[in-house]
Amino acid sequence: MSFQKEISNALSYITAHGYQIHPEAFKILKNLDSNIMEIIQKVVRFKKNQNDTNIILIEDIRNFCTINISNKFDTLTVSDSKLQDKNIIKTTINETQEFEIISTSEITINKPNYRESFKIIYDSADYIDPEEGINGYISLFKSRFHQSLKILSTRPESKRINKISSIKRKIKQEKNNNYLENNLSVNGNTSIIAGLVMSKRSKKNNIELAIDDLTGIINTIALNEETIKLVSKLTLDQMVMLEIENKGINHVIKNVISPDIPDHIPNKGKSDGYVVLISDLHIGSKYFKEQEFLKFLNWLNSSDNEIVSKINFLCIGGDLIDGVGIFPNQEKELNDSTIYQQMSHLTSLLEQIPKKIQVFVIPGNHDLGRRALPQPAIPKKDAGILYSWKNFSMLGNPSYIELNGVKILMYHGQGLDDIIATIPGLSYSNPAEAMKTLLKARHLSPIYGQRTPIAPEKDDMMVISEIPDIFHSGHVHVMGVQNYRGTLIVNSGTWQDQTPFQQTMGIIPTSGIAIAVNLSTLRPFQIDFSQ
Ligand code: D5M
Ligand code: FE
Ligand code: ZN
C-alpha cells in the first residue's frame, strides 16, 4: 500500500470512530516508519477504554511507538565498546521483590555499532526567576493551578467543571430568597470542581477538604469509606478535581480525580545502553562509605564486564557532599570539616569515572547553592572542576533529561519528607510508594510551609508537566523500585551509613548499591557493593 493511502486510511479510521487528530500528532504520524494503521487502532482502542478525550495528541501516538525525534541539543557519540567478553558480573546482583532478576550472561550484545544520544529537555535552573514576598507566592500558586488544570483537561469530567464562585452564588441567591436549607433547589445536584487542596481535616467518620480554584474556596466533605480512602491519599496544596453533591450547606464528595499520569507504554532506547542511577554520597561525612564507593568506581573502570561496557550514562541525584552547617552539631559527624575539603574529596573520586560515561548531576539539600526548591545547579565557583569536564552536565533540581529517547525526571526528593509525614500508609521504608503519590499529584513538592523550603517562583517548576519514563530520586536513603502506569520509579538509596539522626527516626538506609537500567528494556538491576 502506498504511504499516502496508508495515511488516508488511518485518517478515515480516526474519524469513523468519532476521533480527531491534533495537527502536531498528525505531523509525527506522518514521520513514522512503522505500521501507521496498527498504531492508530491501538490508540483509539486505548482512548476508548480509558474514556479519554476524542482528540489524539502527540502523547497518545508516543505511547504506542518509538519516535525518532531529531536532536535539538548536544549529541554524544560513544564509541563502540569492546563487548566480546561475556564474563559474569563480579559484584552480586541481589534479589528484591520488585526486580526482575536476570543472570548477566543472558544479556546478549547484538548491536555493536550503536549511537548513544542525550538531550537536556528541561533544566529548572534555566528558569529560576523568583518574585519577592507575597506576590511571588500568589503567582507560584496561580501557575500551579493553571498548569494542573491543563493536565486535568484531558479528562472527560473536566468539561463539566463549575467555578466555585458560581456554585456559592447560586446557594446564596436561594438562601436570600428564604428557601429553607433542606429545600434548596440545588440540593441533590452534582457538580465538578477543580482546585488546590487548602486544608484537610480528618475527623472520626469523615474528612473535610477546603478547595480553592482562584474564584473562591469551598468546604467539601468525604463521608463514605471509599471517598475517605481516596481523599486521605491527597496531599495539601495539590490540585484535584472533585465531583460533589450539594446537600443543604454541605458539599459531599462523590468522586476524587487526581491529575495523575496516564497508563502508558514508555519510550525505550533502540540500542542496548545502560544508565546507572546513584544519589546521596554524603562525601565528607564520617558515615560516607568510601570503600564501597571506591569499589563502585573500580567496577565502572573494569574492562571485562558486560554491563559495564554498555554503561554510557550516570545520573547523580543530589547530596554529593555532606556540607557544613546543614543541621545542628554537624561538625561532630564530619571527616572533612570544610566545604573546600569536601569538594576536593568529591572531585578526586568523581575524576575516576570513565570519560566515556556522560554524567548528569543535580544538587540535594546538603549541596552548595540555594536550599529552596527548585535548586540551581551546584555553583560553578565551588565546583569549577566538575564544570570543566566535558562528560559532566551540572543541572538544577529538578531536571528532565532524555537518554537514547528515554525521558528521565531527576529530582533529589526533599518533598518526600512532607508527603511521608502527612499521608497515612507511607513510610521511609517504601520511598517508591511515596514517589508514586507525587506522580499522582503531578507535583514534586506540593506541600507548602512545612519542612521543605519552596522559593516564590513566578512559574511553578515543580509541576510534573511531562510524563517521565524513569522517575529518579534519592534523599530518603532507602532504595525502592516500582513500575507505576508505565513509569519506572527508582529511589537510588545512599552511600552513607546510618547517621544518629536516622537512627532516632528509625530509618534503615540501603547503602552501597547502584541501580543500572537497561534503556532498551527499562529493566532495573541492582549492583551491590556493600559486601
Ligand atoms: O536525608 C537523610 C534522611 O533523613 C532521609 O531519609 C530523609 C530524612 N530526613 C531529612 N530531613 C528530615 C526532616 N526534616 N524530617 C524527617 N526526616 C528527614 P538527608 O537529606 O540526606 O539529610
Ligand atoms: Fe541525603
Ligand atoms: Zn537529602
pLDDT in tens, 284-320: 999 999 999 999 999 999 988 888 999 999 999 999 9
Q: Whole-angstrom Cα distance, residue 59 to residue 46?
A: 12
What is the DSSP secondary-structure string of 281-343?
--BTBTTB-HHHHHHHHHHHT-SS-HHHHTEEEEEE-S--B--SSSSTTGGGGBSS-SHHHHH
- Which three-class secondary structure state does DSSP give residue 80? coil
Q: What is the mean pLDDT of residues 59-70?
A: 54
> Given CA atoms 228, 235, 429, 490 in this order, what sign does their dihedral have?
positive
Residue having the nearest C-alpha atom to atom 16 of ligand 1: 417
Mean pLDDT of the region 371-400:
97
Averaged confidence pLDDT in the chain: 86
- State the Cα–Cα distance between residues 397 and 119, nearest whole angstrom: 16
Ligand 1 pocket check: which of 322, 429, 501 to mutate, most ligand atoms within 8 Å of Cβ? 501
Domains of the chain, start order: 1-65 (1.10.8.60), 106-132+263-528 (3.60.21.50), 155-257 (2.40.50.140)
Integer Cα distance of 204 and 249 in angstroms:
20
* 297: Cα within 13 Å, side-chain hemisphere: 17
- Going by alpha carbons, the residue nearest to atom 7 of ligand 1 is 476
Q: How would you classify the pairing of strands 406-410 and 399-403?
A: antiparallel
What's the pLDDT at 67? 36
Query: Is it the case that residue 513 has pLDDT exceeding 50?
Result: yes
Q: Residue 87's pLDDT is what?
A: 24
Using a 6 Å cutoff on CB, does residue 505 contact ligand 1?
Answer: yes
* pLDDT of 273 strictly over 50: yes
Testing ligand 1's pocket by substitution, the residue of 417, 430, 510 carrying the most ligand atoms inside 8 A of its CB is 417
Report CA torsion sign: 57, 62, 68, 70.
Answer: positive
Query: For residue 338, what are the CA distances in angstroms to 326, 330, 341, 344, 516?
Result: 12, 11, 5, 10, 32
For the cut 70, the answer to whether the pLDDT of residue 107 exceeds it is no
Q: Give the list of residues 6+ apart from residue 435 with CB closer than 8 angstroms, or none.
A: 413, 416, 471, 473, 480, 482, 489, 491
State the CB neighbour count (10 A cutoff) for residue 299. Answer: 19
Q: Whose CA is nearest to atom 11 of ligand 1?
A: 417
Q: pLDDT tens digit string along 26-63?
A: 777 777 766 888 888 888 887 777 666 677 777 677 66
pLDDT of residue 70: 26
Closest CA to 285 of 488, 138, 491, 502: 502
Q: List all residues 6 or more positions away from 293 whose beta carbon is below 8 Å from its beta carbon.
A: 281, 349, 495, 512, 529
Ligand number, closest to the Cα atom of 326: 1
Neighbouring CB atoms inside 10 A of 57's CB total 18
Lowest mean pLDDT among 85-89, 97-101, 316-320: 85-89
484 C-alpha vs ligand 3 centroid, how far in Å? 23
Q: Is 483 exposed, middle or buried (0-12, 13-18, 19+ CB in 10 A)?
A: middle
Percent of the chain past pLDDT 70, that is, above it, reads 85
Is there an atom of ligand 1 within 6 Å of 502 CB?
yes
The reported pLDDT for the residue numbered 42 is 81
Residue 66 has a pLDDT of 45
Q: Which residues of 250-288 are buried (b: 16+ CB within 10 A; e: fewer)?
A: ebbbbebbbbbbbebebbebbbbbbbbbbbbbbbbbebb
| C-alpha cell belonging to residue 268 | 525505550
CA-478 nearest atom, ligand 1:
6
